[in-house]
């Protein structure tokens, strides 16, 4: 028979993974609100910025880089393509790895959105070192430089779009 537990709010807040999940949901809501005037969702921003860092990714590469299921990427890419923000390679089709590229319109929208998203760093306080510590503690969960997508993005992460 299992033992009954009575966790306190402090006990719950001490569960790192649950706290990160709750924080991620709140941050996603805030970022969605910030990007709404530009007609972008956080995931759409993720697609654009990943392509800016490593142009010519496949849908599978983008799905891994953005953190969505590959099946979700088809609709995302289709929507961004319909808005002329990216183009898909001519060799599209089942089993073919077409490469995706940003259009000039995609680059222009990203140039507007990037500072908005970068400003979200202030949500972690006024100390840039504290923000860097948050990023450094979470980055290992997202893959490392040996991951071709993460490595390409990290190599181009100088803040210039």
DSSP string covering 105-132, please? HHHHHHHHHHHHHHGGGGGG-S-HHHHH
Q: Quote the radius of gyration of the chain (alpha carbons, Å).
A: 18
- Domain extents in the chain: 9-155
CATH number of the domain at 9-155, please? 1.10.10.10
Higher pLDDT, 82 or 143: 82
Q: What is the pLDDT of residues 3-49, one digit of tens each?
A: 899 999 999 999 999 999 999 999 999 999 999 999 999 999 999 99
pLDDT digits (tens, 9 = 90+) for 72-90: 999 999 999 999 999 987 6
Mean pLDDT of the chain: 87
Report percent pLDDT > 90 for the chain: 75
Query: CB–CB of 135/118 below 8 Å?
Result: no
Polymer length of the chain: 161
And the tokens for 97? 């790895």
pLDDT at 146 over 70: no
């Amino acid at each position: 028979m299992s033992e009954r537990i009575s966790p306190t709010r402090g006990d719950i807040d001490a569960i790192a993974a649950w706290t990160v999940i709750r924080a991620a949901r709140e941050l996603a809501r805030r970022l969605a609100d910030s990007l709404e005037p530009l007609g972008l969702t956080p995931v759409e921003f993720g697609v654009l910025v990943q392509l800016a860092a490593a142009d010519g990714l496949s849908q599978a590469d983008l799905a891994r880089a953005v953190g969505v299921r590959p099946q979700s990427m088809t609709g995302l890419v289709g929507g961004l393509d319909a808005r002329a923000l990216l183009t898909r390679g001519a060799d599209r089709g089942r089993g073919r790895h077409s490469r995706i590229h940003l259009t000039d319109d995609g680059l222009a929208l990203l140039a507007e959105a990037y500072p908005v998203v970068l400003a979200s760093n202030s949500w972690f306080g006024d100390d840039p070192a504290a923000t860097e510590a948050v990023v450094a503690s979470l980055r290992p969960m997202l893959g490392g430089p040996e991951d071709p997508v993460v490595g390409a993005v990290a190599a181009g992460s100088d803040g210039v779009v």
